[in-house]
Amino acid sequence: MSDHLLIGLAPTAPQGRELFFHSYDTWLDLSFVIIGVMLENERVDRQTSEGTKKLAEYLRTALKNGDAEAFFRKIAKESFTGRGCKKERDMYVENMCTRLEDFIEFLIHSGGMRSV
């Protein structure tokens, strides 16, 4: 596992300067939700403020309507198998929803973004 860093191109608030993922796996799981959301909506330019705000809007909808949580639950079910894994699955889902909320805030304030 390695880390992953996103940089805001024209941040409007501290939340938009950068977003660091300690695990590339976390970023990868988030990216699957992003791809799913993008397949259902118009394409956005992640290097513009308008594009990142639009993506944030799409992701917020997926979070509010339960689509993102359902996707994370599916991953958790496949990743944490066996008896007694419910707590781990629930913790994973909660963590991923929190990371998605962090990503949404980053997008709103980033002014565009790039990966480092």
* pLDDT per residue as tens digits for the range 49-73: 999 999 999 999 999 999 999 999 9
The residue length of the chain stands at 116
65's tokens: 């309507």
* pLDDT per residue as tens digits for the range 9-62: 999 999 999 999 888 788 888 888 888 888 887 888 889 999 999 999 999 999
Backbone phi, then psi, for 6, in 5-degree steps?
-110, 135
Listed by start position, the domains of the chain span 4-115
Cβ-count burial 61-81 (b if 16+ within 10 Å, e if not) = ebbeeebbbebbbebbeeebe
